[in-house]
Structure 1
Amino acid sequence: MPLPTRRHHGAFIPFDPGVPVTIRLAVEDDWPGIWPFFSATVAQGETYAYPLDLTPETGREWWLAPPPSATVVLEEEGLILGSAKMGPNRPGHGDHIGTASFMVAPSARGRGVGRALAEYAVQWHRERDFHGIQFNAVVATNTVAVRLWRDLGFQIIGTVPDAFRSPAHGLVGLHVMYLPLSRP
């Protein structure tokens, strides 16, 4: 799948066509490349309601998803720029609806990494015949993510008011977002 360009502050910042960029399944040896931006994102406290006392070991348990889920990385010249995990939203009778989570290294933001991972996750769910994708908790003030999901066809189907404590904004809502995938 070709990697997109992304509009960022009025300019397009593409992936360099001469530099190989790949999305592949993550392996245990990738964790040291994921942990720095994973821990920084969690510590910032603006996008995920993960425990604040995560260690590299407990963070790995949260992020490296076992089958039937999958965790992938996007890498450029051996450097991991972002990661996504995806799979069933719920077990049992809810496993026909997928979910996903995404993190991008701060140094790679604005280059299309999040979009490339999101498009990959949507296609991954389609190829496995999921009926739809549900995001349970998109922080309302995370406007970059909300805009991306809407661009990809997700709808906000509800918002839980004051469900997230943002260090920068105080109590803010959590959106539940949904993308139907069922084929006609």
Structure 2
Amino acid sequence: MNDIQIRPATEEDFHAMYGIFQTHVAAGETFPHGPDMDREASYDYWFGAPATTFVAVKGRERVLGMYKLVPNQLGRGSHVASASYMVSPNAQGVGIGHLLAEHSLGEARRRGYLAMQFNYVVSTNTAAIHLWKRLGFSIVGTLPKAYRHRRLGYVDAYVMYKLLEDPARWELADEEQDQAQDEA
């Protein structure tokens, strides 16, 4: 794992990213995107505003996985991050997802997010759910039969949440942000 680097994604990474994306979408087990999502729409998903996208690479070439970090909501909900992750099927089971997850939590904190929320974790994606729980996320809601799994039919999806900062400090962060806006 020493030779794996996580860095900002570039346009040159997109060909490999799109291959990983297509594989996950075609499987129909973890992402809501349909198989009709074309290359341009996929590019916009990973690189369009306000996404900040990172890749895990081995050496300088091989993309093993990726994630994008975005505000979960606009305006008064923008202090909560959300993210999407994909790992190449050829790299699953060796800790790439965990590396991406840890990196995204650090990046979210660095960018000033106070919490992270996943709006749509498919209940049958047990590896992801296990990882998120190990990293301190809780299931805060269940969306009954919200996901149409390719093999299993309709299954639940979860909303998962984690505080990234002690809420006692949130007021201070809000006051600093409001003061900065007043000064602008």
Query: What TM-score do you get using the length of structure 2 for normalisation?
Result: 0.87
- Residue-by-residue CA offset, 1:146-179 (whole Å, 9 max, x unaligned): 0000000000001011000101211100100000
Q: Confirm whether residue 145 of structure 1 aligns to residue 128 of structure 2.
A: yes
Q: Residue type of the partner of 1:120?
A: H
> Is the Cα contact below 8 Å between 1:65 and 1:71 reproduced in 2?
no
Q: Residue type of the partner of 1:177?
A: M
Q: What SS does the corresponding residue of 2:12 show, helix, strand or coil?
A: helix
Which residue among 50, 53, 76 is the counterpart of 1:71? 53
2: CA distance, partners of 1:124 / 1:65: 18
Q: What SS does the corresponding residue of 1:107 show, helix, strand or coil?
A: helix
> Is the Cα contact below 8 Å between 1:129 and 1:182 reproduced in 2?
no
What runs of 5+ residues in structure 1 fail to find an aligned partner? 1-14
2: CA distance, partners of 1:180 / 1:80: 30
1: CA distance, partners of 2:146 / 2:38: 25
* Partner residue in 2 for 1:105: 88
Q: Compute the displacement of 1:63 (Å).
A: 1.6
Which residue among 37, 40, 55 is the counterpart of 1:54? 37
Q: Compute the displacement of 1:55 (Å).
A: 1.4
Q: What SS does the corresponding residue of 1:40 show, helix, strand or coil?
A: helix
* Partner residue in 1 for 2:147: 164
Q: Residue type of the partner of 1:38?
A: F
* Partner residue in 2 for 1:41: 24
> 4+ residue stretches of structure 1 with deviation over 4 A?
none
Q: Compute the displacement of 1:182 (Å).
A: 1.7
Q: Compute the displacement of 1:101 (Å).
A: 0.5
What runs of 5+ residues in structure 2 fail to find an aligned partner? 169-184
> Is the Cα contact below 8 Å between 1:65 and 1:85 reproduced in 2?
no
* Partner residue in 2 for 1:118: 101
- Residue-by-residue CA offset, 1:75-96 (whole Å, 9 max, x unaligned): 0022000000012011111100
* Partner residue in 2 for 1:176: 159
Q: Residue type of the partner of 1:100?
A: A
1: CA distance, partners of 2:33 / 2:21: 11
Q: What SS does the corresponding residue of 2:136 show, helix, strand or coil?
A: coil
Query: What TM-score do you get using the length of structure 1 for normalisation?
Result: 0.87
1: CA distance, partners of 2:4 / 2:128: 22
- Residue-by-residue CA offset, 1:106-144 (whole Å, 9 max, x unaligned): 000011110000000011111122120000000000000
Q: Residue type of the partner of 1:74?
A: A
Which residue among 105, 109, 114 is the counterpart of 1:131? 114
- Equivalent residue pairs, number: 166
